[in-house]
Amino acid sequence: MAQRILGLDPGLAILGFGVIEATATGAPGQAEATVVDFGVIETPAKTPVGDRLCTIYDDLHSLIDQVKPDLVVLEKLFFYRMGNTILVAQARGVIVLVLAQYQLPFIEFTPAQVKQALTGYGNADKADVQQAVARELELDRIPRPDDAADALALALAAWYQQ
């Protein structure tokens, strides 16, 4: 049975997304994941915050209509710069609203949990995580931009947890 997982790396300027499809291969305990799509939703910096949130709202609706995920995974919000954290929290609120409108289940992971799931080490470098994404999904190169690679990493972490 196939499961489509949408990973979202929340941000106001750049919201990364990555969609994988995990399929059981038939052998006990065996499954594989393939990339369905990945990319970013971008909002211009000089645009009013309300308009940027509307763009995220509209584009996320379009994305969900297109990829029809079974599960969504979000990066858990962590605090590093208060001004930026508030903007990311606002974008994240819009994301959660859209998911509620679609009645989509979602789970959350911290960056350390994603690193642990993909590399076996919770303090792994970003490059190590990106290489793990490319390797696990059998990609020729690391997905770009970084936000899209991070979203694929979230989707893989959710798949591994199941």
Q: Which of 32, 58, 65, 147 is catalytic?
A: 147
Q: Which of 42, 51, 70, 75 is catalytic?
A: 75
* CA distances to 9, 18, 122 from 15, in Å: 6, 10, 23
Whether residue 159 contacts residue 118, with contact meaning beta carbons closer than 8 Å, is answered with no
Residue 147 appears among annotated catalytic residues: yes
Cis-peptide into 143, omega within 30 deg: no
Q: Which of 9, 37, 125, 128 is catalytic?
A: 9
Residue 51 appears among annotated catalytic residues: no
Longest dimension (CA), the chain: 53
Cis-peptide into 145, omega within 30 deg: yes
* CA distances to 30, 37, 41, 66 from 9, in Å: 28, 14, 10, 18
Residue 75 appears among annotated catalytic residues: yes
Strands of 71-75's sheet, edge to edge? 31-42, 14-24, 2-9, 71-75, 106-109
Known catalytic residues are: 9, 75, 147
